[in-house]
Structure 1
Amino acid sequence: MFTHYDPESAALTVELHDQFKAFIAGQWDAAKLAAHQTDRLREVVAYARANSPFYRRHLAALTDEEISGLRIDGLSRLPFTTKDHLRKAQFDVLSRPVSEAWTFYETTGTTGAATPCPRTNADTIHNNTVLTAYYRDLLAAHGDRQVIGVSGPSELHATGDTFGDVCRNLGHAVAKMWPHSPVIGFDRALEVMRLLPMTGLFCTPGMALRLAQKATEAGLRPREDFSLDVLLLTGELMSPSLLANIGTLWGAKAYNVLYASQEASVLAAATSDGSLRTAPLINHYEVIDPDTLESVEPDPAGVRYGELVVTNLYAGAKPLVRYRTGDLVMMTEPGPGAAVPAPAVRAVGRVHDRLSLNGHPVNGYELEDLLLAPFRGYLDYQITVGDDAGRDRLFLTLKADEAVVRAGTEHAVRACLDVLDTTLTVEIGTPGPITSTGAMVSWKAARVVDLRTGRSDENGAAERIAAMRK
């Protein structure tokens, strides 16, 4: 509604609404998209260099003529931006003073200095237009009068405002609740979920599991005593096996709905075909080899696998140029049946979360999917990596009934040996609150105890957060 008082924002809303409507309908060909991205790239690079003290230094070698001649297939002349750059530069990265933003967010700062992430109206309109356009058909399948909860990590995170605004755009009611808050807590959150009743929930996979644990401990049955139709999950690594288990626990359809970061904003969103699809109207994407930093070519199946690099294509508070996300992704061009004509992307783990097991490299997504595939109905899990006479071995701890563990153990043990040449032991146990810290730290710090290596800064951060959540 603020756009009624801000003609510039009102005009931008209409422009982007029309652009996305035409793009999703297939009315943009490759040439039109390339021209759009090229124009926006030149605009953003010039804008960032002129307004951001960091980019004034970082892009000092570029001349005005070189910027005006930039092409989306020639970005290698531009330097990367990294998380360390953002941590060191702090407010110098901004292209607009905070006073010109409509709201201020920051990263959690659990594994390094928190970095400022203010949002202007332009930032919010660009990103929320993507989510509104992509989620429309997905949520329509579950009815047009949803009551949707939103659970985010902190008050200085964009989660609540973003999903609240998108649901308002689509006509759904929203209840924002933070179960880790001492004011709300899990008991009150569960009570609110039943009272409304809540039909949908935006949260992390860890939160969905934690709520199910707390409900069970309170004598409630997640499937029978709650009205959730749809779980909209984001913020952590999420394999198909984990997604299916969470859906089973709650008797709801579970989606991986968003790939984003506080720094770079929306990178991909769920569509009605079940895929996370990129947003090429507002971002340009590269996939690089994280070791050589060279661009990755598609494999024979058409998949590009490597670290995602993103350049924002809108002039907001903090546009990022060639930002190395630190995330490993698998990106595939859209096929004829794609709900949105944009590449599909799967985030498969942090670059530094990669593991080697008896000589077999494996990312978090692959390992989680492999080990959890035969199990349904567990409330939590953790993986331990140990060493036995020079051979790596795995232990999977599940918070589950004996029948759940017994039903899947033989299959999991055999699959682990076949794929990774690694023995697996499955046991019943309670991992504890550390597994709920994945969105704040990393999947590996939250879910993997690697006895072969020493404790990292991320391990320490996860333990500190967990101690506050007991």
Structure 2
Amino acid sequence: MALRQQLAYLAHNSPYYQRQFREQHINVADIRTVADLARLPFTTKDDLQRHNWDFLCVPRNQVAEYSSTSGTLGEPVIIGLTKNDLARLYRNEYLSFGCADGGADDVYQLMLTLDRQFMAGIAYYGGLLELGAGIIRVGPGNLAAQLANIQQLQPTALVAVPSFISNLLAFAQEQNINLNDSSIRKIVCIGESIRQEDFQLNALAQKITGQWPNVQLYSTYASTEKQTAFTECGQGQGGHHQPELIVFEIVNEGGQLLKAGETGELVITNLGVEGMPLLRYKTGDLCAYYDAPCACGRTTRRLGPIVGRKQQLIKYKGTTLYPQTIFNVLNSFAEIAAYVVEASRSALGTDELTVTVAFRSEDWVEAPARLRQALQAGLRVLPTLLVAPLPAVLARQQADGKRKPSVFIDRR
């Protein structure tokens, strides 16, 4: 019912989809089930970038909030949300934090931006208000302030990018503070993967839990276009689907639907969105879904870890790999304070790969050699490895005024 309502809404209100339906002779009344969606064309990131405002289904005076994508894979896209969309967004995060074992007795420290048109920040804030939890809005960065608030206000949970938690642990160690003695019991991890394809913790997550065994990590996956999150429960076996808010498909290169456990591209259709709903939107993210009932008691399908993005595939010296594979090697080195992976194009049109790292101490003279060995073993090829001072690497991560650090820069 919700899908049919969203299709009728698009046919009546969306300039972009009205044009698509007309040109391709589509009658949305014929689309009655999720399986019928296969009869409709995909929407791509390029479509959204080139026709951004044609996706808006309401007059501008009904847009309550303007959010934008981060621009990781091209020009940022503006997403307009109505008041009802914001309420839906908060509901989504209320359900997500509840799935991640959150409750009204928790106090969450938000280690992320709530400005710069960042949809996730306002979504987390609204969802936690609906949950009835306490909120500490510290924002990104500023390790000293983060640590001071943990000590003074005693939050029970953090919402943060995992690599930032790794930096917080290093800073706390420098200050002779043991975070295992703190009030923190769980961390909702955003923006970066914490699991391998088999759901085991990856190197970054193992680094965190190795130093901070008292915390439970929860993975969450979302994007501005989805306006919906897939969040883990305590079982850590994938992000739970919220079927009343979104429809998803996993497709192969030919666009055919894949079965449970098969890796392909995630395609989403929003439900209940008024401002800029998307129909069969190809996210570019590669993953699999699982439909066996979860041990937590939920029976919804679950999304497995994101293994890569189609546009970020690197073909280097006869080997194909995604940046996450490189991140997993780099994150296994406690000596590395920061890194940037850069893909570029050679004069011959082939992919080039450079990894720039900053070490926590200049005394670790053996680290570069061990890192080269690990990269060769983990990737089967050896990228160009550069060592730079920490400020230079951090500055490169924040290049072009991006609102969050970029550990992968694609110049191809």
Q: TM-score, normalised by structure 1?
A: 0.70
Look up the SS of the partner of 2:78 in the other structure. Answer: coil
Structure 2: distance between partners of 1:132 and 1:147: 14
Q: Which runs of no fewer than 5 residues in structure 2 stay unpaired? A: 196-201
Q: Is the 8 A contact 1:235 1:439 kept in 2?
A: no
Aligned position for 1:380: 338
Change in CA separation of 1:448 and 1:127 when aligned onto 2, cut-off 3 Å: closer
How do 1:66-465 residues align onto structure 2 when only pairs under 5 Å count? 66-109=28-71, 112-136=74-98, 138-140=100-102, 145-153=105-113, 155=115, 156-179=117-140, 187-212=144-169, 219=175, 221=177, 223=179, 227-239=183-195, 240-248=202-210, 253=215, 255-274=217-236, 275-289=238-252, 292-298=253-259, 302-335=260-293, 337=295, 339-341=297-299, 342-373=301-332, 375-376=333-334, 378-383=336-341, 397=357, 399-400=359-360, 416-418=375-377, 420-423=379-382, 430=390, 431-435=393-397, 440=402, 446-448=406-408, 455-456=411-412
Structure 2: distance between partners of 1:149 and 1:50: 42
| 1:81 Cα deviation from its structure 2 partner | 1.4
Q: Is the 8 A contact 2:160 2:188 kept in 1?
A: yes
Look up the SS of the partner of 2:255 in the other structure. Answer: coil
| 1:310 Cα deviation from its structure 2 partner | 0.4
| 1:329 Cα deviation from its structure 2 partner | 1.9
C-alpha distance after superposition, 1:189-212 (max 9, x if no partner): 544343323332212234434555
Q: Is the 8 A contact 2:89 2:127 kept in 1?
A: no
| 1:434 Cα deviation from its structure 2 partner | 3.1
Q: Is the 8 A contact 2:397 2:407 kept in 1?
A: yes
Structure 2: distance between partners of 1:100 and 1:449: 36
| 1:82 Cα deviation from its structure 2 partner | 1.8
What amino acid sits opposite 1:199 in the alignment?
Answer: T
Q: Is the 8 A contact 1:207 1:436 kept in 2?
A: no
Total equivalences in the alignment: 396
Change in CA separation of 1:131 and 1:340 when aligned onto 2, cut-off 3 Å: farther
Change in CA separation of 1:224 and 1:433 when aligned onto 2, cut-off 3 Å: farther
C-alpha distance after superposition, 1:226-254 (max 9, x if no partner): 64332212123445211222344556525
Structure 2: distance between partners of 1:384 and 1:101: 37
Structure 1: distance between partners of 2:110 and 2:328: 26
Q: Is the 8 A contact 2:106 2:157 kept in 1?
A: yes
Structure 1: distance between partners of 2:381 and 2:44: 35
Structure 2: distance between partners of 1:307 and 1:161: 27
Structure 1: distance between partners of 2:9 and 2:298: 29
* Residue 56 of structure 1 pairs with residue 18 of structure 2: yes
Structure 2: distance between partners of 1:250 and 1:228: 10
Q: TM-score, normalised by structure 2?
A: 0.78
Q: Is the 8 A contact 1:272 1:339 kept in 2?
A: no
Change in CA separation of 1:426 and 1:112 when aligned onto 2, cut-off 3 Å: closer
Look up the SS of the partner of 1:178 in the other structure. Answer: coil
Structure 1: distance between partners of 2:397 and 2:214: 22
Look up the SS of the partner of 2:306 in the other structure. Answer: strand
Q: Is the 8 A contact 1:210 1:436 kept in 2?
A: no
Aligned position for 1:463: none
Q: Is the 8 A contact 1:237 1:364 kept in 2?
A: no
Change in CA separation of 1:113 and 1:285 when aligned onto 2, cut-off 3 Å: same
What percent of counterpart residues are identical?
21
Change in CA separation of 1:319 and 1:436 when aligned onto 2, cut-off 3 Å: same
Structure 2: distance between partners of 1:95 and 1:384: 38
C-alpha distance after superposition, 1:341-395 (max 9, x if no partner): 222321222212112344232223333234534x4475433457899xx999986
Structure 2: distance between partners of 1:193 and 1:433: 27
